[in-house]
Structure 1
Amino acid sequence: MREIVTVQVGGFANFIGSHFWNFQDELLGLASDPNNDPVFRNQCLNMDVLYRTGETQQGVLTYTPRLLSVGFQGSLGSMSSRGLLYNESSPGPSDVVTWSGSVSTHASAPRKKNLFLQRLYEEEQESFSMINGTSSGKSDSQREIQDKDIVEFLDNHVEFWTDFSKVHYHPQSLYELGGLWMDPQEFDNYGIGKDAFSEGFRGEEICERLRFFVEESDHIQGFQFVVDDSGGFSAVAADLLENIADEYANTPVLLFAVRSPSSQMNLRSRKQTIFRELHDTVSFSRLASFGKLIVPVGLPFLNESKASTLLCIENEKPYHCSAVYAAALHSATLPYRMEPVGPTADSFDVFGAVDINGFVQMLAGQARQNTVAILDAAMPAPALNGKQHEQSLLGNLQPLTPEVSEDVEDLQAVESMIIHGALRSDGQRASISEVKETVNAIYGHAITRPMFCHLSVARCPLPIPLPYPSMFGNLVGQYGELLNSPFVGSSPRGSLEVHSIPMAVRLRSSSAILPFLENRLGNLRRYGLQRGALGAELLRNWGFADDELYDMGEMLSKMVSTMKPHSEISSDSD
């Protein structure tokens, strides 16, 4: 067994994670239903890579994500930090015997389950009733009305990532960062989160939970790490990554650094601008130093990007933006969850499986240490043999990584492309061999091509679960096919209209990332390292000594020079 442990740190990372696990839960449900499309019953995906089997004290078998989620205290909404499956009550306060005065207890009322969570509870109770032979049963018309109400409610009222989570979690999975005595909005920079991990017993508690999932694994394959790097949780994640590097030195980490559009709002003053740019530089430098491969994800205006041409996204809603990024992360991580098959894959439903170590080594290579990869996505992916007015598959891939150059020729680029659920122009699902032939033809006719491209293909599309936002445009059909004429008065479309979509994503190590790296190196020099730098005092208040800042500059300089080998970049220590 080659297990993956998933780590989610911070608010937006957990929003993405909630959608990600909903996809997995939907795939599990579709695979177990004999009446469903055979493509879902023959996924050739090993869910045991991500999930663990267990048993409650009552002897009930469980199947839960091998997940550690770290969030702000109070960020779980109506969900208990111990989840819902394991109902062991946590010990209450002991009787006060040294105090003779009066004692008063102040307790906040638990949050009520929203319409979607109530529906989940009803379905579970109905399932138990069916087992006991006492099912009442509900008509399809009643269920349809409820679905419409739920979709409308979620599109307008999601506050917490647990509001739309359809997954059960293990009691060790959900950790709330308590005792900070501040609002989540104030936990907004690297400096304020720098000691959050080490204070008290937080670091020990978090590492102990991580150790629980690692030690019960037969042969851990690696860590799938998602961090909201827009605020203080970046520092928490960096300290956790440092611990992982020390304790699990030979275990690869694939790190996604994510942020929502709302965290990248326009800054009104120069002081705020310097503050934010130094946070971005320090955050990226610290995170990148503990992993061989880091993937920045999060556009400042997702709804205005080419990546959302077929989508209707509201930037101010994390529920919306995280759904796009979760779909891309699900697709990008398929290669190390595929069942390995032989070299001839035409008779199988997957092709191009690779473990996480091979995946990271492939993109990082030996020449590009601490590599930054770009994440591109086509959502939904176009048909393989589209009309003349449609762009090619490569043309539809658009970056979800910010500050990326367009139309860059990098002969040293390394790519991993993942395509699943691809459709032909007649609306039928394409075979593995058809996808391979199409991609080979695209690269064969390309003026420039990467030094190396690894292709992974799966016939199973991305399922759209009920609690997915209504964000598809009126040119997207029921199975993600792109229509010639739009639906009238039916945009945006959600899970009741769109059941699945084909996806194409690409991770690439390319010099197109240079603007991202050069901006961070330039800001560190301008605001932190130069004599009389405006941000020097701020960085000292964040606890960074001069030698630490020079080390950051040295690392960023090397990353830039590796991507641009012929440039002359002076060392920061000169």
Structure 2
Amino acid sequence: MKEIVTVQVGDFANFVGSHFWNFQDELLGLAGEPSADSVFKNQDLNMDVLYRTGETQQGIPSYTPRLVSVNLRGSLGSMNSQGTLYTEVASTSRDVVTWTGRVSTQASEPFKRNLFLQRLYEEEENSNINEIPGSNNDSRTEYEDKDIIECLENDVRFWTDYSKVHYHPRSLYELDRVWANVEEFNNYGIGRDSFAWSVQGEEISDRLRFFVEECDHIQGFQFIVDDSGGFSAVAAEFLENIVDEYTNIPVLLYAVQGSGSRTNLQSGKRTVSEVLHDSISFSRLSSYCKLIVPVGLPSLSKSKASRFLHIEDAKHFHSSAVYAAALHSISLPFRMVPVGPSADSCSISGAVDIHGVVQMLSGQGRQNMVSVLDVAMPAPALTGGQNNLSLLEVLQPLTPQTDDDVEDMLAIEHMTVHGALASEGHRASVSEVKDKVDGAFRCASSRPMFCHLSVALCPLPIPLPFPSIFGNNVGKQGELIGGQTINSSPKGSLEVHSVPMAARLRSSSAVLPLLENKLRNLQRFGIQRGAAGAELLRSWSFGMEELVEMEEMLSKMAAALRPPQLTSDSD
């Protein structure tokens, strides 16, 4: 087995991670549920790749994510930083030995559990007390489910508000001196000033080391960072430490940003700060990983990726669910169980580890380390379906500032398709999916130099806390249907139980506009004589020599993707 250690740094990264782990928890539950669809019982996925086995202080076996999560103080809502399985009783002593004067204690009221968390807690309490089979399920009514869904749609403030997963006490780390509801943690400089690796970094490093040292043969780090603000600097310090300590372990980095996090109406000074932050953040983060995948559209709701979805950009609860679904899909091959050579009798095909994907996308051809993430959610049926669209035609980028119409003969792709339907209500076999994708490539006007395809029969499960974002033309199994009522409410987990998915990572010149934009902004606002952001960058502790190094790195990354004639012309 090749284990993965996951790292989540920043608020939106943890929003994404919360959905990601809910998917895993749902798969684990369905695998052992007698009444579940058989496709979930024969997943051929090794969940030990992501999870660790352990034991609580009471001797109860536990199964928790191999995860280190970093966020601001006060960002856990009603959840304790020790998690929920291993919670220790804090000392209630108020003795002050060195002070003889009056002492006053100020404490904020703890956050209360919402309806979803209350029911989770009550069900677990009942399961520990009652041994009556099925007693918990009998207490769940349709009204209660709808009430909970309404609560989640309207009241999610923290990523823990919809998390149904138990975490190890070493997983959740809150940064000291920085409070979620006090500080504006919105740029690289603030992150640098607020975080001292010498003070807090060693504790974070110890937590990571705990999970790594348990691994028999770690395949890599899955690193998710909210790079829209100060956490970029925290993540860069963390990544630098990982590179130094774990030299030969690849890092697959997802740099995520929430939709609608920035307004159009802002001052010129704020605009300069944001574009410089984006350039600096990308440059610093990419220098410490083998492959970086920018994820997060300015408006997910208006993108082609939301063709069958109803997204509210202002709700991180919504957009993070889509990004988490894409990350789940693209990571499935990392935990596929090796099977025999006959694809017809298998439920999976195309297993590959993180090292293989990183080498495939960044170590061949151009030697580029930036990848575009595309998704089809839900993926259309192989035959018929909505406008007879093929899997290739419905894949849409979740990476911002990409070129839609690029023809790149040197592109490298890694695609995952799982839970595909052959037609409405009928699941496609592995061989049917492979044949369909091969046929789509043959008919396409342009095709990549190489594409690795992974296929699984198991669709994406939709757990109860998943947001109501599916359009009316999405059926119970994620099939696309006609005759929908335009004005009816979006569907959630009560109406849609699973969806077929397709996701793709591609090393392509489609990402060239993003790179050129970051390079241009760094030059214009940070390096050129009289640059508007020069003083700002000095306040962030960046000297000209370091900025020039970033400029050179971005230039090389962009040059690797330009067609030969454009590269020679620019020289």
Name the TM tier (shorter chain).
over 0.9
* Counterpart Cα distance in 2 of 1:506 and 1:311: 19
**For structure 1, which segment, 246-255 or 102-111, has the greater mean C-alpha deviation from structure 2 after superposition?**
102-111
Q: Is the Cα contact below 8 Å between 2:127 and 2:136 reproduced in 1?
A: no
Q: Identify the residue that residue 4 of structure 1 maps to in structure 2.
A: 4
Cα distance, 1:181–1:40 mapped onto 2, change above 3 Å: closer
Offset at residue 449 of structure 1 (A): 0.6
Alpha-carbon displacement from aligned partner over 1:40-69 (angstroms, at most 9, x marks no partner) = 000011100000000011100000000000
* Counterpart Cα distance in 2 of 1:362 and 1:136: 47
Offset at residue 345 of structure 1 (A): 2.1
Q: Identify the residue that residue 78 of structure 1 maps to in structure 2.
A: 78
Give the partner amino acid of 1:327.
A
Q: Identify the residue that residue 355 of structure 2 maps to in structure 1.
A: 357
Cα distance, 1:197–1:40 mapped onto 2, change above 3 Å: same
* Counterpart Cα distance in 2 of 1:515 and 1:360: 22
Alpha-carbon displacement from aligned partner over 1:467-522 (angstroms, at most 9, x marks no partner) = 01011000000000000211576430000000000001111000010100000011
Q: Is the Cα contact below 8 Å between 1:432 and 1:459 reproduced in 2?
A: yes
Cα distance, 1:517–1:289 mapped onto 2, change above 3 Å: same
Q: Identify the residue that residue 537 of structure 2 maps to in structure 1.
A: 539
Q: Is the Cα contact below 8 Å between 1:378 and 1:503 reproduced in 2?
A: yes
Q: Identify the residue that residue 418 of structure 2 maps to in structure 1.
A: 420
Offset at residue 93 of structure 1 (A): 5.9
Give the partner amino acid of 1:332.
I
* Counterpart Cα distance in 1 of 2:462 and 2:356: 30
Q: Identify the residue that residue 29 of structure 1 maps to in structure 2.
A: 29
* Counterpart Cα distance in 2 of 1:288 and 1:345: 37
* Counterpart Cα distance in 2 of 1:463 and 1:481: 13
* Counterpart Cα distance in 1 of 2:484 and 2:199: 56
Cα distance, 1:534–1:25 mapped onto 2, change above 3 Å: same
Q: What is the 5 A alignment of 1:291-370?
A: 291-369=289-367
Question: Which secondary structure does the structure 2 equivalent of 1:213 belong to?
Answer: helix
What is the RMSD computed on CA atoms of the aligned residues?
A: 1.9
Give the partner amino acid of 2:204.
I
Offset at residue 529 of structure 1 (A): 1.2
Give the partner amino acid of 1:173.
S
* Counterpart Cα distance in 2 of 1:137 and 1:58: 24
Alpha-carbon displacement from aligned partner over 1:99-132 (angstroms, at most 9, x marks no partner) = 222222222221111100000011112211233x
Could you tell me which of 260, 272, 275 is aligned with 1:274? 272
Q: Which runs of 5+ in 1 are unaligned?
A: none
Q: Identify the residue that residue 405 of structure 2 maps to in structure 1.
A: 407
Question: Which secondary structure does the structure 1 equivalent of 2:174 belong to?
Answer: strand
Q: Identify the residue that residue 447 of structure 1 maps to in structure 2.
A: 445
Give the partner amino acid of 2:64.
T
Offset at residue 457 of structure 1 (A): 0.3
Q: Which runs of 5+ in 2 are unaligned?
A: none
Q: Is the Cα contact below 8 Å between 1:3 and 1:218 reproduced in 2?
A: yes
* Counterpart Cα distance in 1 of 2:3 and 2:180: 37
* Counterpart Cα distance in 1 of 2:403 and 2:92: 56
Alpha-carbon displacement from aligned partner over 1:80-105 (angstroms, at most 9, x marks no partner) = 00011002234566732222222222
Offset at residue 528 of structure 1 (A): 1.1
Q: What is the 5 A alignment of 1:48-127?
A: 48-91=48-91, 95-127=95-127
Equivalent residues, number? 570
* Counterpart Cα distance in 2 of 1:69 and 1:183: 18
Cα distance, 1:528–1:89 mapped onto 2, change above 3 Å: same
Could you tell me which of 214, 228, 231 is aligned with 1:230? 228
Question: Which secondary structure does the structure 2 equivalent of 1:476 belong to?
Answer: coil
Q: TM-score, normalised by structure 1?
A: 0.96
Offset at residue 322 of structure 1 (A): 0.5
**For structure 1, which segment, 280-289 or 34-43, has the greater mean C-alpha deviation from structure 2 after superposition?**
34-43
* Counterpart Cα distance in 2 of 1:46 and 1:368: 33
Q: Identify the residue that residue 503 of structure 1 maps to in structure 2.
A: 501
Q: Identify the residue that residue 528 of structure 1 maps to in structure 2.
A: 526
Offset at residue 390 of structure 1 (A): 2.8
* Counterpart Cα distance in 2 of 1:368 and 1:251: 22
**For structure 1, which segment, 141-150 or 470-479, has the greater mean C-alpha deviation from structure 2 after superposition?**
141-150
Q: TM-score, normalised by structure 2?
A: 0.96
Give the partner amino acid of 2:98.
T
Offset at residue 435 of structure 1 (A): 0.2
